[in-house]
Chains A and B, each alone.
Chain A
Amino acid sequence: MKTLKNEGGFTFIEILVSMVLLSVLGITIWAGLINSQGLIRKIISEASTSAKILQLDNFVRQYAYKVKIPFWEGKIKTEGGKSSLAIPYLNAECEDMLMFKTSESMLLIGSKKTGQFNAFGPFDDISFQLWEGDGEKPLGIKLSISTGKKGNDQLIIYARFGGNPL
């Protein structure tokens, strides 16, 4: 009957080779894990940004639709400065205003009358202004946000009002 060699155990060389192999394998797995963690974090971050933008887009459009400027209006009187903009005729009421404002890197949208605001962000850069048509007639709101750190991932949302002057 044929018997195996080294029945007593492994040689020093065999142990050394197997340790080297295991180390290489371990390092590869470790590096892979670290990389995949980064990748997962990046995917989550991108997905989260996309979700935030979609949510913001939906909200801005819904709210802008609630602004009903009467057909007889000329140039509407907006309020605010660099970091805020208030547009009258929210829910067709002159006293109620749709308000956009920034606080640090967050965008706040809501009713000036009720004081209830929804927060979106954080975004790197936020700007908003009236979207005007022919004869400076207000058509809606133009919202511009930057999501990338380089500032080149700029997104512009044009949201139409529910009522427009003639």
Chain B
Amino acid sequence: MKEKGSISAVILGLLLFISVLFLSGSVFIEIALKELKRSEQIDREKELLLKRADQIVELLLDDPTPFADAPQDPVWEEMQNMEYKGIRAVSLEDVSSLIGLNWVRKELLERMGVLDFGKTPRELQQFREDSGIHLNIEKAFHDFLEEENIEEFFTAYNYFNINISDEFVLRKLYFIRTGNMEEAEVFHTKIQNIRIEKKQVEPQDMESFLSGFNYDILFPVLNAEPVMNIHFVHEKILEDLFSYCEIPDGKAESIINLRESSEWTVNDLKALIGEKYAETLLHHYLGCRTWFWNIYVEGEKLKLTRIIARMPEEAEEGAPEFRLVEEDFSL
């Protein structure tokens, strides 16, 4: 028997080749499995975040006081119990109780005194006329206002109230929604006329006021509901609005002091502010409901931001209905 033994270089090379082949194969399988696992984890987390966001919407729908949104609503307390099992943070923010930079009239803008030095409300109005309505207001209006001022006092997320929106913006909005410029001009004239006559359109009159003007297409974006919620509106905006609508001094301050522990209805506001609330445009600026909410849910790896809009109902006491406006996942 041959005991010495020998192996050729070919066999050695073959063994080496097979080893490398198996090693690379196993590394490839390992990477593929890891990637698959990561992808599955992300999908699971996405589902979890969406589930939590849906739960918040459910809580808003179950609000026992749908006619008003306030810090006393059960949603805020319930949300605190959601931060467990992979959920790092949950928040709900009223994003519509700020002044709409897309529709604010130049008189109120003047009163607020937040424009950059040398810039006038008329120039901003002209800019809007030239460039249109913007979602990214920080970027669009950076030549007119400081970024901090835009973030603090203004929003792109609120409805266009027919009584308080700039007339030229309303013309533009009409064109955007219907695509008919001729009709937009007629609509603009109608708006100018009611402003000259100092008439106001109330929510229940909207449909008849807009008869022959594509009410179904304009609603809900254009309506006559108060755009901001008095329970969440910024203190400076409240003070500026009260001053703009010539409400006696001290009213704004007392509301700021009381609102932390109160949930008011429109009738309460009439009693609190006085006759001027209903007589002036103030009741179109300030109400008790929030129209746009920002829901934020943060998981281990992902963050979900969802903006929902409450539909302006026909009936005052009607159950709320929410529609998805924006949704975004980020890492």
Contacts and interface: CB of A to CB of B under 8 A. Distances in A.
A164 interface: yes
Contacts of B160: 72
A42 interface: no
B157 to A, nearest CB: 8
B221 interface: yes
Contact of B325 (A74, A75, A163): A163
A20 B207 CA distance: 95
Contacts of B18: none
Given A92-B136, A93-B136, A166-B309, A72 B221 contact: yes
A72 B173 contact: yes
Interface in B111-167: 132-133, 135-136, 156-157, 160
B178 A74 contact: yes
Interface in B243-302: none
A19 interface: no
B309 A71 contact: yes
A92 B324 contact: no
B179 A94 contact: no
Interface residues of A, number: 17
Interface string A119-159: 00000000000000001000000000000000000000000
Q: Which of A70, A73, A94, A166 has the most CB of B within 10 A?
A: A70
B271 to A, nearest CB: 33
Given A68-B135, A72-B221, A163 B326 contact: yes
A162 B327 contact: yes
Interface in B297-331: 309, 323-329
Contacts of A71: 157, 221, 309, 325-326
B177 A72 contact: yes
Nearest to A160: B327
Contacts of B309: 71, 166
A72 to B, nearest CB: 5
B216 to A, nearest CB: 8
Interface in A45-81: 65, 68, 70-75
Q: Determine the interface band of chain B, counting residues with CB < 8 A from chain A.
A: 20 to 34
Interface in B163-193: 173, 176-179
A68 B326 CA distance: 7
B221 A166 contact: yes
Contact of B326 (A72, A73, A74, A162): A162
Interface in B208-261: 217, 220-221
B227 to A, nearest CB: 13
Contact of B328 (A65, A70, A72, A75): A65
Contacts of B132: 94
14 contacts: A68-B326, A70-B133, A70-B135, A71-B309, A71-B325, A71-B326, A72-B160, A73-B176, A74-B178, A75-B179, A162-B327, A163-B135, A163-B325, A164-B325
Interface of A: 65, 68, 70-75, 89, 92-94, 135, 162-164, 166
Given A68-B135, A166-B220, 20 more contacts: A65-B329, A71-B309, A71-B326, A72-B176, A72-B221, A74-B176, A74-B177, A74-B179, A74-B217, A92-B135, A92-B136, A94-B132, A135-B217, A162-B326, A162-B327, A163-B135, A163-B327, A164-B325, A164-B326, A166-B325
